Chains A and B, each alone.
Chain A
């Protein structure tokens, strides 16, 4: 650390004398300059301090005149550095420009960018240092912030799962993030500078420039600010569904479009398979209904047919026992009997559609059927905000059953529960499904809801064939469910119902043939 040199301090007057030519002009210029102008002697003492300096620091020239700059204005932590600069003033190059903090009277730090000139005496010795400074505190702050923001932004862009692609008004890609590279299979280098249409299948690839042109011309946005599902094309040529949202960025007269791209091919596949599954279930429900109707129709028609056949047989016998009965009467009665038989044949044909003839009996894990059914209507359960609790006996033996039909029963029970609870919109809803082996060695599945319960005659009529309140049916009615349960040697009933909810019970006999 070099102590300031005390001797032969150049005076302010001396400075102006040496500037004789500009004697009048210079101070005036300095005073009005909209920048900080400070002149130091070679030891670092202030000899000149313009009005802008006064305004910026809050100190008057008189207060700082003759003081070492580091004592007067430099932040304590920077003082040694400043002193060192002046110590080396003779030997080393004084920095032509640098940035340093000044402390104001109020104790605030201002960042100043300096441009410096060293004035030498006739011997080539440094005599004065002239600094012209700009207060860049505010712009620096925003610059630092901008840098930080940029880093954050970049980190986000690098890590988001969405592809982010920025194009200019010509459709040329300006920037892409790693996700975009992953999604499309191109490297950034393969994309940047190329037309974004390379990522689109026909016909959009050819049309895209026109799309941009139309937007620029009319301002009518087809996709900007809207977002929609479109098709993309990977490097491999594979087409895939993606969700695209585009926003416009205006940087002065520089317009950019940023597209956020999300690969939804997997989600689509899941949706597709769920839809297919629902279709299958709806289809099997329709088949079951058809079968049930056929069986029902057969049953209904059988009754009068049996009566007709019996009446005819009785009449034929009575006619045969009656003396003098007209022969035509016997023929007529025979005709009735044979036509009744013909109708019976038709009924037998119709039965081929009956559900029971189409059952495919295999060993079935009832718990898996419960879970499958829940999965199928998962979206409804979530939509309704219903809490589902499962208590499934893991040691449940398999039952020989038609899996599709069992699924229909469970779907129906769960659906009914959901609908019942919808009648109580304001309350917390819970759906509990349990499975267990009961003491008579039957499997029992219980579906309990927190709905309003079944009013008197509802409980009775629940299982009637055409008694339904449901306009849109995925699944079959409870009447069919019960008849399915019975066809499996089991039963379906309302175990409990009160104002707090309803428990439906499905019982299925355990199989004697079941293996361990």
Chain B
């Protein structure tokens, strides 16, 4: 039995790159001080003076988190978050808000991956929030990668193999499946073992995990 190369992504972390803190703020003093703060905490940081500039250079594979301001000329921090969320793999966003913008913040919060920190903020607290955002991003990305991988594996199965696999993972015995699909038990056995092999599953539990991942509705959502 040779090992399937397709099983690799499920086993290892897909995140080879360092997480980056993307600082998007129109105020240069904020950009500079936050960049320095990240450096002092051993975090990679990149600065952008506007949301547009950030989105223009944004790499889909970039990971980490975004720290931005609610009020910026051009595109606000909220609009930036909306734009990011529309993409396949959204970065968590931490929005710095002024006073009185909390109600706006609450409205936006309902939309998803977003944190609000009211100014003036405690830098140590901000660092903590950044770290937890990065961790959330990493988890989401891992899940996302696993889901993609699972779907990719399933896409290599034939229709019949997928049918059999679905019934297997629902907990049906071979005999029941044979009856259901009007094929012999022997044929069921055959499809089942091919599906196991193609997906790199060593047990029924492995197969069920892949099926569950592939059926996950929104990959990347945290």
* Alpha-carbon distance between A486 and B98 when the two chains are bound, in angstroms: 14
Provide 13 A-B residue pairs closer than 8 Å at the C-beta atoms, listed in order of the A residue: A298-B99, A299-B119, A304-B29, A306-B119, A308-B33, A310-B34, A310-B37, A311-B37, A312-B123, A315-B40, A317-B37, A340-B120, A487-B100
Interface residues of B: mostly helix, strand, loop or mixed?
A: helix
Q: Which of B104-158 contact A (CB under 8 A)?
A: 104, 107, 119-124, 126-127
Residues of chain A lying within 8 A (CB to CB) of residue B100: 295, 351, 354-357, 487
B120 touching A313, Cβ below 8 Å: no
Kindly identify which residue among B29, B30, B40 contacts A313, using a CB–CB cutoff of 8 Å: B40
- Given A307-B29, A317-B40, A489-B107, A302 and B98 touching (CB < 8 A)? yes
A353 CB, nearest partner CB in chain B, Å: 11
Residues in chain A within 8 A of chain B (CB atoms): 295, 298-299, 302-315, 317-318, 321, 340-341, 343-344, 347, 351, 354-357, 486-487, 489
A487 touching B103, Cβ below 8 Å: yes
* Alpha-carbon distance between A318 and B27 when the two chains are bound, in angstroms: 23
Residues of chain B lying within 8 A (CB to CB) of residue A340: 120
B27 touching A309, Cβ below 8 Å: no
B15 at the interface (CB under 8 A from A): no
Residues in chain B within 8 A of chain A (CB atoms): 27, 29-30, 32-34, 36-37, 39-41, 71, 96, 98-100, 103-104, 107, 119-124, 126-127
B98 touching A299, Cβ below 8 Å: yes
* Alpha-carbon distance between A302 and B29 when the two chains are bound, in angstroms: 11
B99 touching A309, Cβ below 8 Å: no
Kindly identify which residue among A295, A312, A317, A344 contacts B120, using a CB–CB cutoff of 8 Å: A344
A313 touching B119, Cβ below 8 Å: no
Residues of chain B lying within 8 A (CB to CB) of residue A299: 71, 98-99, 119
- Number of A-B contacts defined by CB within 8 Å: 84
Residues of chain B lying within 8 A (CB to CB) of residue A354: 99-100
Residues of chain B lying within 8 A (CB to CB) of residue A347: 120
Residues of chain A lying within 8 A (CB to CB) of residue B123: 309-310, 312-314
A309 touching B40, Cβ below 8 Å: no
B33 touching A302, Cβ below 8 Å: no
Query: Which residue of chain A is the closest to B119 with respect to CB atoms?
Result: A302
A313 touching B124, Cβ below 8 Å: yes
- Given A295-B100, A298-B99, A314-B36, A307 and B30 touching (CB < 8 A)? yes
Query: Which residue of chain B is the closest to A347 with respect to CB atoms?
Result: B120
A253 CB, nearest partner CB in chain B, Å: 80
Residues of chain A lying within 8 A (CB to CB) of residue B29: 303-304, 307
B99 touching A351, Cβ below 8 Å: yes
Query: Which residue of chain A is the closest to B98 with respect to CB atoms?
Result: A299
- Given A299-B99, A344-B120, A354-B99, A310 and B39 touching (CB < 8 A)? no
A359 CB, nearest partner CB in chain B, Å: 10
Residues of chain B lying within 8 A (CB to CB) of residue A351: 99-100
Kindly identify which residue among A311, A317, A486 contacts B33, using a CB–CB cutoff of 8 Å: A311
Residues of chain B lying within 8 A (CB to CB) of residue A304: 29
A398 CB, nearest partner CB in chain B, Å: 19
Residues of chain B lying within 8 A (CB to CB) of residue A318: 40
- Given A354-B100, A357-B100, A487-B100, A306 and B36 touching (CB < 8 A)? no
Residues of chain A lying within 8 A (CB to CB) of residue B96: 306
A305-B120, A307-B30, A317-B41 are known contacts; what are 7 more A-B pairs with Cβ within 8 Å? A299-B99, A307-B33, A310-B30, A313-B124, A315-B40, A341-B120, A354-B100
